[in-house]
Amino acid sequence: MFQQIINWRTLIAIIAILIASGTIVYSRYLANKIANEEKQKVEEWVEAGKFLINSSNEADTRLPFKIIHNNENDVPIIETDEKDSIIQFINLDSVKIANDRSYLTNKLKSFKSQNEPIIWTNPSDSTQQNLYYYGESRLLTEVRYYPIVQLVIVGLFIIITLLALRSSYRSVQNQVWAGMAKETAHQLGTPVSSLQGWVEMLKQIPDNNKIVPELEKDVSRLQLVSDRFGKIGSTPQLEKHNITSQVTSMMDYMKKRAPGKVNFSINTNNEKEIFASISPPLFDWVIENLLKNSLDAMEGTGEIKINIENLPDKVHIDIKDTGKGIPLAMQQKVFKPGFTTKKRGWGLGLSLSKRIIEQYHKGEIFIKNSEPGKGTTFRIVLKK
């Protein structure tokens, strides 16, 4: 699937380059062709105007009038004398000319930078010259800007296509992970059931009174893990639960399995019951992952503080440790699948935690703050 996306991206890039190149080349060809035609049109307009001025009453003026008429509302022209004093102009905005004294001057400068002027010399006085500066017609301007518009359209097409491919890839990836999780739950089911049977048999032997309770807890733990994997990919049923007791229970579980030099504490701000809608197995998984990460970061010594704050419309759960912290450059990556700083593990714990909280519980999970050498605080936000 990943290779297919790369092939699609290559194909799209090639198509985009071909379209862009073809558009630019053809647009330049059209622009040059129109520019030459407009230059010829200006030259004819100049000749027609001078013919009308110098012609006798008996001369046929139909063609010169037609040429002048055809250039109305087309190519903008400014006529000046040899001293650059403006004599007349056509096809310019009369309203702007009336309201802005610098409009004509600025237009003249613009026309000078665009095209060489058409020069007319008085046949009877060679020292008298009129210069005709002209700009681009609306059609030529549109043709010049057409490649930019085309490139924007092609760019949007590429972005939309890549987003669609990425969404498709993520969908397939999610289905694969969900399938693997359900298969893992299915494979765990048989040995867990068998272990539960052996635990019941061991209960019948008096000498096992100290071993059986702990063994039963671990088997129940396996059953819980199997249940969690079975819920991946399915829409969980959210139920109203006491967050305080839920988090406390997970903290007590991790405390028994943590080194003795790690101190745990929880602050509920004097509230014994704080309710929110959660899926208990999945929510416990998230708390367990965060506590495990904190333990790994402290390497056997330190303190883990949990603070639960009850707000009018949401619940904040902060898990703070005194571990090695996370550098700022890495903080944006910790929730991405595969990211891990440990020698062992797949780097899926925080990625799955983010999915559970944000997709299933419609909440938030993020790094509230972290400082190398001082520790990290993760925050979970649950809606009530």
pTM over 0.75? The answer is no
The domain segmentation of the chain, as residue ranges, is: 2-141, 235-383
For residues 289 and 354, give the distance between their C-alpha atoms in angstroms, rounded to a whole number: 11
Give the pLDDT score at 166: 72
User: In this model, does residue 210 exceed pLDDT 80?
Assistant: no
Give the pLDDT score at 2: 44
Query: How do residues 216-225 score in pLDDT, each as one tens digit?
Result: 877 877 777 7
Where does the pLDDT of residue 204 fall: very low under 50, low under 70, confident under 90, or very high at 90 and above? confident
Query: How do residues 233-243 score in pLDDT, each as one tens digit?
Result: 667 788 999 99
Give the pLDDT score at 233: 62
User: In this model, does residue 1 exceed pLDDT 60?
Assistant: no
- Ramachandran bin of 147, using left for φ above 0, alpha for ψ from -120 to 50, beta for the remaining angles: alpha
Lowest average pLDDT, out of 83-92, 137-146, 161-170, 320-329, goes to 161-170
Query: How do residues 8-56 score in pLDDT, each as one tens digit?
Result: 667 777 777 777 777 778 878 888 888 888 888 888 887 777 777 766 6
Across 250-277, average pLDDT: 91
Across 191-204, average pLDDT: 79
Query: How do residues 348-365 score in pLDDT, each as one tens digit?
Result: 678 889 988 998 899 999
Query: How do residues 51-110 score in pLDDT, each as one tens digit?
Result: 777 666 666 667 666 766 766 667 888 889 888 888 888 888 888 888 888 898 899 999
Give the pLDDT score at 212: 80
142-150 — which CB contacts under 8 Å span 24+ positions?
143/27, 143/30, 143/31, 143/34, 144/27, 144/31, 146/23, 146/27, 147/20, 147/23, 147/24, 147/27, 150/19, 150/20, 150/23, 150/27
Give the pLDDT score at 214: 78
* 235-383: CATH class: alpha beta
Lowest average pLDDT, out of 116-125, 135-144, 191-200, 226-235, goes to 226-235
